[in-house]
Amino acid sequence: MDLRFTPQELAFRDEVRAFFRDALPASIRHKMALGQRPSKDDIVTWQRILNAKGWAVPHWPVEWGGQDWSPVQNYIFKEEMQLAPAPDPLAFNVSMVGPVLIAFGTEAQKRHFLPKVANLDYWFCQGFSEPGAGSDLASLRTSARREGDHYIVNGQKIWTSRAHHADWMFCLVRTDPAAKPQSGISYLLIDMQSPGLTIRPIPTIDGEHHFNEVFFDDVRVPAENLVGEENKGWTYAKYLLGNERTGIARVGASKQRIIKAKQLAATIAVGEGTLAETERFREKVAAIEIELKALEITQLRVVSNARNLPRGVQDPASSVLKLKGTELQQAATEILMEVAGAHAMAFQSEHLWGTATDEPIGPEWAATVAPDYFYTRASSIYGGSNEIQRNVIAKRLLGL
């Protein structure tokens, strides 16, 4: 038992830190530090910088560009990236479709897609949810009918994040309407330029364009874009869900928000002193820091225990990571809201994206705080809502 990183791990952390310091373009760092949203270009630029260094997909197998790092190293890498603060590599690519292709794709699919996925030459979006199939994903109805060497896809997806940026979608479709819900689903890769595919934007409550509806009207998908076996798509989707574990708590991102809140609170005059000096503010922040520290140690336990577990077996402690992690991300955005106070209330989209040409209303950093708070409410909804997380823990872990 030893809480400290080994000298090698510390050396690794310094190396990662130095690289992020030198390689992250100043304009992107500036946006990220202000809490502004990185543009599509920023995300692509950064992922390509990482890829050039060989660090875009370190958790993949070495033959596909991975780094064979230990779980601790992967953890340090993600943590440092969030603290930098740098944009996250596109999760749909590096944590979702990539690992599924590696596990279940054909050799040809891997050779074609994986390098482009890693380099973000292909931007993938996730076509799972439908109007009638959210938490109950297995009830999805978008259909794919085999016709010669094509699938003909009809139906609708919803809440598809960044579909408007995407070149490709990994999509769950029903290929066997007669089978039990989970058994008739297949996993298809669909070119977003396909005729018959249309996208309608849905504005999110922060006033921005993040997700979309995607409609399929007789969209022809080459059968070679089926991943794995027909009607086994559910298994691959589940594999995905089990795949993304470390980093899911986003401890680094919460830390970064809290550090920022403390720094900014020192600039807000309250009475004779500053907000940062008021007892109530300090105690509130301290209370979050305590929970964040506990979560960080829990996460490190999971990371450290990973070497003792067979591949694919999930540490029971890991199930609390998403639950607590999202609660703390939300708590951190609330603290920033309190710091900004009324300054957060001007709606100024350009100052959220860093594209404004006019002076901000109030301090520049305050323009991003409310959108961040609003949008972060989604973290307990997507990726398996917190209610569903609790159901799963109760059932699988507690046997209830």
Partner 1 sequence: MDFDLSEEQRMLQESVERLISERYDFEHRKTYMKEAPGFSKTLWAQYAELGLLGLPFAEKYGGSGGGAVETMIVMQAFGRGLALEPYLATVVMGGGLIALAGSEAQRTTILPRIASGDLLLAFAHSEPQARYELSDVACTARRGADGWILDGQKSFVLHGDCADQLIVSARIGGEQRSAQGIGLFLVDAHAEGIGRRGYPTQDGLRSAEIRLSGVKVNSNAALGEPGNAADTIQRIAEHALAATGAEAVGAMAAAHELTVDYLKTRKQFGVTIGSFQALQHRAVDMLVHLEQARSMSLLATMMLDEPDPVERSKTISAATVQIRRSGKFIGQQAVQLHGGIGMTLEYKIGHYFKRFTAMESMFGDTDHHLAALARAGGLL
Ligand X SMILES: Cc1cc2nc3c(=O)[nH]c(=O)nc-3n(C[C@H](O)[C@H](O)[C@H](O)COP(=O)(O)OP(=O)(O)OC[C@H]3O[C@@H](n4cnc5c(N)ncnc54)[C@H](O)[C@@H]3O)c2cc1C
- Distance separating alpha carbons of residues 203 and 205, to the nearest angstrom: 7
Nearest to ligand X of 112, 165 (CB atom) = 165
Binding positions for ligand X, 160-179, rule CB under 6 A:
160-161
Longest Cα–Cα distance of the chain, Å, equals 77
Nearest to ligand X of 55, 216 (CB atom) = 216
Binding positions for partner 1, 167-206, rule CB under 8 A:
202-205
- The structure tokens listed for 11 are 């050396």
- Distance separating alpha carbons of residues 116 and 124, to the nearest angstrom: 10
In 3D space, the residue among 198, 337, 173 whose CA is nearest the CA of residue 257 turns out to be 337
Find out whether 86 and 20 touch, Cβ atoms under 8 Å.
yes
The interface region with partner 1, picked from 75-83, 135-143, 217-225, 245-253 by CB under 8 A, is: 135-143
- The structure tokens listed for 380 are 């307990």
In 3D space, the residue among 225, 239, 233 whose CA is nearest the CA of residue 113 turns out to be 225
Residue 89 CB contacts under 8 Å (≥ 6 apart), including other chains: 46, 47, 50, 56, 57
- 41, 148, 193, 280: residue in contact with partner 1 (rule CB under 8 A): 280
Identify the H or E element spanning 222.
Answer: strand 209-222
The interface region with partner 1, picked from 60-68, 148-156, 306-314, 371-379 by CB under 8 A, is: 371-379
Residue 199 in the binding site for ligand X (CB under 6 A): no
Residue 275 in the binding site for partner 1 (CB under 8 A): yes
- Distance separating alpha carbons of residues 375 and 381, to the nearest angstrom: 11
Residue 134 in the binding site for ligand X (CB under 6 A): yes
- 112, 364, 374, 393: residue in contact with partner 1 (rule CB under 8 A): 374
Residue 106 in the binding site for ligand X (CB under 6 A): no
Residue 217 in the binding site for ligand X (CB under 6 A): no
The interface region with ligand X, picked from 58-66, 121-129, 145-153, 217-225 by CB under 6 A, is: 121-129
The interface region with partner 1, picked from 18-26, 41-49, 246-254, 262-270 by CB under 8 A, is: 262-270
Residue 156 in the binding site for ligand X (CB under 6 A): no
Taking each helix axis from N to C end, the angle separating 279-305 and 251-265, rounded to the nearest 10 degrees, works out to: 160
- 135, 139, 198, 263: residue in contact with ligand X (rule CB under 6 A): 135
Binding positions for ligand X, 356-395, rule CB under 6 A:
378, 381-382, 385, 387-388, 391
- Distance separating alpha carbons of residues 155 and 118, to the nearest angstrom: 29
Nearest to ligand X of 130, 315 (CB atom) = 130
* Known catalytic membership, residue 244: yes
Identify the H or E element spanning 72.
Answer: helix 71-83
Task: Please give the C-alpha separations between residue 377 and each of 202, 206, 255, 385, in angstroms, as whole numbers.
Answer: 16, 10, 18, 11
Is cis: bond before 85, omega within 30 of 0? yes
Beta strands in 32-128 (DSSP E): 124-127
- 18, 266, 270, 294: residue in contact with partner 1 (rule CB under 8 A): 270
Nearest to ligand X of 61, 207 (CB atom) = 207
Q: How far is the CB of 276 from partner 1 (least distance, A)?
A: 13
Q: How far is the CB of 97 from partner 1 (least distance, A)?
A: 21
The interface region with partner 1, picked from 49-57, 184-192, 219-227, 334-342 by CB under 8 A, is: 334-342
Catalytic residue among 244, 289, 334, 338: 244
- Distance separating alpha carbons of residues 283 and 77, to the nearest angstrom: 30
Residue 370 in the binding site for partner 1 (CB under 8 A): yes
Residue positions annotated with a catalytic role: 244
Residues that bind ligand X (CB under 6 A): 125-129, 134-135, 159-161, 210-211, 378, 381-382, 385, 387-388, 391
